Structure formats: structure tokens, C-alpha cells
Amino acid sequence: MFTINLPYVNSLHSCEVHLITKLPIMSTLKTIYEQLDLVNQQKNKMVAAQLFEQVSALRDTEKKLLEEAANLEKQHRLMLSKSKYVRGLNCDKSLWLYVHKYKEQQLSDAQESIFQQGTDVGSLARGLFPNGVLAVPEGSYPNAQSAAYTLSLIQKGVTTIYEATFIFENIVVAVDVLDYKNGCWHVFEVKSSTQVKDTHYIDAAIQYYVLSGVGIFKQLNMYIVHFNKNYIRQGALHLQSLFTATQITHEVMNMQAPITANTRRLKLVMLHNEPETEMGLQCTKPFLCSFYAYCTRLLPEDHNPETNLSDEPIIQHEAIREYVQAVAYPIGFLDFETIMPAVPLFDQSRPYQQLVFQYSLHSQLNADEPIIHTERLAESNGDPRPQLIASLIEQTKDLQTIFVYNISFERSRINEMAIDFPEYAEDLDKLSYKLLDLMPVFRNDYRTESMGSKYSIKTVLPILCNDLQYDGLAIADGATASNAFMQLYNEQDTEKINNIRQQLITYCTLDTYAMVRLWEVLKRV
């Protein structure tokens, strides 16, 4: 044990700094952090009292404690990154699992696609800052070597650095673009979104903390580079119009105060046993946690409050009778599948615009006639929308009522196609007016206890028509369908292409046949 006595001055309280090296590492590190807090508090009091000689002594004490903390953190690999920091602020357990049970992560194809999309958008945005030097080799993680290389590039006078890496207090960050212009360094963090989100501020705040801490920048300006949601592609991509930069320096500077405490607490979390954290909103917001399946497995078997609830329907007979009687034949049941490329791939499309690549249609001339099914799946060799519009108009032109499930989705896609392809606008507008939503009926007028508060078609269908299931389908949801179709643009294996296309047809067909069966349920009422 050694003791460092802090000076006692007038009314300022004295305190002692004890570094007890024989205690378990977590207790020792926690003690050092607490002592650093005391030193900082005492230092602030002395600055206020203008006792600058004592402040200098405290700085020496602080330096020794910081060095000891840094050594212990390195010894036990308590290295934080930007992603770990954001993850830990959202959930202690998620951070701990990421460090200690990394292989327990489960990422869906859709999540993998989102991560890859972010990487691709970051690389594309480098075109806004040409002739830069990459500090981290492609496919590698930022580390001490890339931090040293970054510093050497700055010393050599390089003014644009991609993945510029810095380490401070065992926190490593890599900024997408570090650019020197007009006598000042600018940090650009690229996000594959159309606006600045709350998590982006947290990202930038920890970056600012580290870059400020390394002590080589007199001034930093922080920006989030994101998509311009109003950009419409015409011909080749125009990066200066596709992207826009929002300066967030002031906001980020105002977020610095709690970061030191946050990072120290998270390092202790990494050192501790697995946290006992209840599942909650943090599991799905602001994104689905990659350890969601792991934590779900730990729940008791009877955790689902809807288990064994009655499926006896609660029916608003009069409301359903009015709904059914208002339907005019011939009728149809329509469903779209869409892709949402972050970077517009085709003319007359915007970032993240939902582009229809497939439709399924079940139709019936009158109540006594058989159900007829038609569908169309675009070829993956260009913009899918022009491949579908003419046939969609032809197949629906004689129908009087066209059921959809969640009308805002299909109607929005139809209205967008009318704008983007004005030669079809009149017919698409007629189609839009024929749509009738099935979803509100099962949200309000036909309920069972086992539905709980849910009313999606994937919840309602197996309860009311238990011979139909989405479980077991190779493609069983819209996100998977979207990823599958995007995969076809680069797929060369003919057999694989045919298999994926058949899986897409099977899934979309079930969506419209599901509506047929639900309509039959309502007619029986």
C-alpha cells in the first residue's frame, strides 16, 4: 500500500489516495477510478480558489493514477471501442456478452445485409474526399498499429485520412474521414441513413472525446454525412447531391461531461461476472440486439403470458356485416414485395425507396366462382418496376375491390410508381382507389385472446386458419424476400437463381392466399 496525501487548504476538505494492489483486480481498478474522481473534485476546488501550485501537485497525482489504471486495463484487455461503448450504454449485458461470449451472437441475413450496407456506403462516401490514405487495411479492425500509422500520416502532412485511428484511455476509435481544410481538422462520420439519429450523436461524442484526449488537435469540427432523402437518381450517381453533411460539433461538445464516468463503468462491467439484466425495450431498440436469442433462451418456459389463452373469437358482428356487404365484385387480393437499396440503383429512385419487384394476385369474379391466381416476379437485370407495372394494370383493371393487408404500404407503392412513371399514372391512380384494407377488421372487430395486441397477418392467419403456416418456408418474411431478390443481381448459379425465385413466389402467393382465407372467415360471420 502507498498513500498520496492531497494538500489541505483553508476550507477545502483533505482526502487521501490509497492504491491497494493486493485486492482483486476489479476492486483495485474501481478504487483507482474513485480516487481519480476525488482528485478531480479537489482540483476543481483549488482552481476555483486560485491555488495553482496545489493544482500542479494534484496533476502529478492524477497522472500516476491514470498510468496505473491504464496498465491494469491493458493487462486485462479492457479496451473499449466506439461500438462497444454504444452497445454498453444501451445494455450492460450485451456488452459483457460481446466481450465474453462473442460466438453466441445470432445475426439474421437481414442484419448482416444492413452491416454490409453500412460498410459499402462508407466506402462510397470516400469519393467526396478524394486522394485520401487508408489507415486501416480493408477487412481489418483498428488497433495500435493503425493508430501509429495514422499519427505518422498526420506528421507527414497527409490531409485526408480514411479510417483515421486514435487511442486514448484504452478507447480506440476510427473515424470514417479525417480531413484538413482551412486551417482546421474536420471529422466526418458516414451513416447510411437519411437523417442524424440519436445514436449518431453518441458515436460522434466518444470519437470527439478520444480525439480531444490524444492532444494533437487544436480544434475539431464534427459532421455526420448521411443521404439526402430528396436526391433522385438520373444517370450516374452524383455523390455531392446524394450525400449531405450535418455539423454536430456543438451538440457533441455538450455531451462530453459523462463520458469519463461511462467508460470507466463499462470497463468494470467487462471485468465483472455476467450481468443479470431483464429483457426489455433495450433488446430491440434502437436495433435488435445480436444476443436476443441467447437472452430469450434464459427465460423460464412459461414466460409467454399468452400461453394457453382461448382462441374463441370476440366478434363485432354488425361491423363485420357492414364491411362484407359493402364489397363489390369482382374482387382481388394483392400483395407486393419490395427492395430498398440504400444507394439508388436505378433512375427515378431515391435512397431507401421501396421498389416493387414482385406481386401476387388472387381474384374472383363473383362469390360462386373459383379463385384464380396470377403473379409476376421481375428479372434481376435492371429496375424491376417497369417490368411489373403494365401486367399489374392489366390483371387488376376489371376488379372492383382489391383487398390488401395494411393499405398504406401498397397504396404508397402504387402512388410512387404513378409519379416515377407518369405514362402509367392514370391507370395506377384507378388501381389505388380500388384498394380495401383487411387489417383494421382484425385489429378491431375480430379478435381472440391469443392474438394479444397483435394483428399482423402472420399472427392472425395461423390462429384462424391453422392449416396455413409461414413456419418452414425458406423465405417467410418481407426482409428475407428483399435480401433474396437483391442477391439475385449478383448470382450466377442458374439452379440457385431458380430456387430463390420459386421460394419468392411461394412466399408472396401465401400472403395473398392468406387474405383469401381470412375473407372467407369474415363471410361466414
Q: Which domain holds residue 515?
A: 315-524
Decide if 300 is inside a domain. Answer: no
Q: Higher-confidence residue: 184 or 7?
A: 184
pLDDT, position 12: 33
Task: Report d(CA 253, CA 24) in Å as an integer.
Answer: 36
Please say if the pLDDT value at position 435 is more than 70. Answer: yes
First to last CA, the chain: 81
DSSP assigned state of 76? T
Cα separation values, 420 from 233, 382, 394, 445, 452, Å: 11, 15, 19, 37, 40
Residue 387: predicted pLDDT: 97
Strands (DSSP E) found in 434-516: 435-437, 446-447
Give residue 106's pLDDT: 92
Q: How many domains does the chain have?
A: 3
Question: Are 41 and 166 in a shared domain?
Answer: no
Query: What's the Rg (C-alpha) of the chain?
Result: 30
Pairwise CA distance, residues 270 & 97, whole Å: 9
Helix ranges (DSSP H) in 195-286:
198-213, 239-242, 249-253, 259-271
Name, in order, each residue with C-beta under 8 angstroms of 383's C-beta and a sequence gap of 6 or more: 345, 346, 347, 348, 349, 355
In this predicted structure, what is the pLDDT of residue 16? 40
396 in the same domain as 332 = yes
Tell me: pLDDT of 170 over 80.
yes
Position 349 in a domain: yes
Give the number of other Cβ atoms within 10 Å of residue 301's Cβ.
6
Q: Is residue 303 part of a domain?
A: no
Q: Which of 271, 294, 326 corresponds to the end of one domain?
A: 271
Looking at the fold, whether 168 and 205 belong to one and the same domain comes out as yes
Band of residue 311 on the pLDDT scale cut at 50, 70, 90: confident
* pLDDT the model gives residue 55: 77
Looking at the structure, do residues 71 and 141 belong to the same domain, yes or no? Answer: no
Per-residue pLDDT, averaged over 337-365, amounts to 97
- SS3 of 282, please? helix
Residues 494 and 364 in one domain: yes
Q: Given pLDDT bands bounded at 50, 70 and 90, which one contains residue 302?
A: low
User: What's the grid cell of residue 471?
Assistant: 413456419
The reply to whether 306 falls in a domain is no
Q: Residue 126: which CATH number?
A: 3.90.320
Confidence category of residue 308, pLDDT binned at 50, 70, 90: low
Question: For residue 96, is pLDDT > 80?
Answer: yes
Same domain, 66 and 131: no
| Of 356, 322, 354, the residue nearest 336 (C-alpha) | 356
Please determine, for residue 8, whether its predicted confidence score (pLDDT) is greater than 50.
no
Task: Let me know whether 23 and 147 are in one domain.
Answer: no
Give yes or no for residue 22 having a pLDDT over 50.
no
Query: φ and ψ at 115, to 5 degrees?
Result: -65, -45
Distance CA 32, CA 13 (A): 19
The DSSP string of 150-163 is HHHHHHHT--EEEE
Count of C-beta atoms within a 10 Å radius of residue 23: 13
Q: Could you tell me which of 60, 14, 67 has the C-alpha nearest to residue 41?
A: 14
In a domain, 181, yes or no: yes
Give CA–CA dist 44/58, Å, rounded: 10
- Cell numbers linked to 327: 364489397
pLDDT value of position 184: 95
We report the CATH number of the domain holding residue 389 as 3.30.420.10
The per-residue pLDDT for 49 is 78
In a domain, 184, yes or no: yes
Taking residue 87's Cβ as centre, other Cβ atoms within 10 Å add up to 24
Grid coordinates given for 416: 410512387
- On the CB side of 357, how many CA atoms lie within 13 Å of its CA? 26
368 and 448, same domain (yes or no): yes
Asked whether residue 507 falls in the same domain as residue 359, the answer is: yes
Residues 432 and 413: their CA atoms lie apart, in Å, by 9
Q: Which amino acid is at 504?
A: L
Which pLDDT band holds residue 140 (cuts at 50, 70, 90)?
confident
Residue 452 makes CB contacts below 8 A (sequence gap 6+) with 306
Q: Write phi, then psi, for 327 (nearest 5 degrees).
A: -80, 130
In this structure, are strands 160-168 and 171-181 parallel, antiparallel, or unpaired? antiparallel
Cell 469519393 sits on residue = 127
Task: State the Cα angle at 200 between 197 and 201, rounded to 5°.
Answer: 100
pLDDT, average across residues 338-359: 97
β-partners of residue 373 are: 362
Same domain, 70 and 121: no
pLDDT of residue 48: 80
Residue type, 525: V
- In this structure, of 175-184, 387-396, 443-452, the range with the lowest mean pLDDT score is 443-452
Q: Are residues 345 and 212 in the same domain?
A: no
Torsion 297-300-301-302 (CA) sign: negative
Give the residue-averaged pLDDT of 39-58. Answer: 81
pLDDT averaged over the chain? 91
Detail the DSSP E strand segments found in 348-406. Answer: 355-364, 372-377, 401-404
Residue 346's pLDDT is 97
468, 452, 451: which is closest to 460 by C-alpha? 451
